[in-house]
Amino acid sequence: MAAAPPEPTAAPLHVAIVMDGNGRWAKRRGLPRTLGHRAGVEALKRTVAAAPALGIKWLTVFGFSTENWSRPAAEVAELMALPKRYFDSDLTRLEREGVRVRCWGRREGLSPELVKMLDEAEARTAHNDTFFLQIAFNYGGQADIVDAARAFAAEVAAGRARPEDLDEAMFARHLSSRDAPPTDLIIRPSGEQRLSNFLLWEAAYAEFVFQDVLWPDFSVDHLKAALEEFSRRDRRYGGTPADGVLAAG
Please write the tens of the pLDDT for every residue from 121-141. Answer: 999 999 999 999 999 999 999
In a domain, 246, yes or no: no
Mean pLDDT (whole number) for 39-57: 96
Structure pTM? 0.90
Q: Which residues are annotated as a binding site?
A: 20-25, 33, 37, 65-67, 69, 71, 188, 194-196, 207
In a domain, 182, yes or no: yes
Partners of 103 in the β-ladder: 135
* Residue 242 in this model has a pLDDT that exceeds 60: no
Q: Give percent of the chain above pLDDT 70.
A: 92
Domain CATH for 29:
3.40.1180.10
* Residue 75 in this model has a pLDDT that exceeds 70: yes
* Residue 1 in this model has a pLDDT that exceeds 50: no
Domain containing residue 78: 14-231
Strand (E) or helix (H) holding 23: helix 22-28
Q: Which residues are annotated as a binding site for substrate?
A: 21-25, 33, 37, 65-67, 69, 71, 188, 194-196
Q: Where are the beta strands (DSSP E) in the chain?
A: 14-18, 58-65, 99-104, 131-139, 185-188, 207-210
Q: What pLDDT does residue 140 have?
A: 97
Residues with catalytic function: 20, 68
Q: Which residues are annotated as a binding site for Mg(2+)?
A: 20, 207
Domain count, the chain: 1
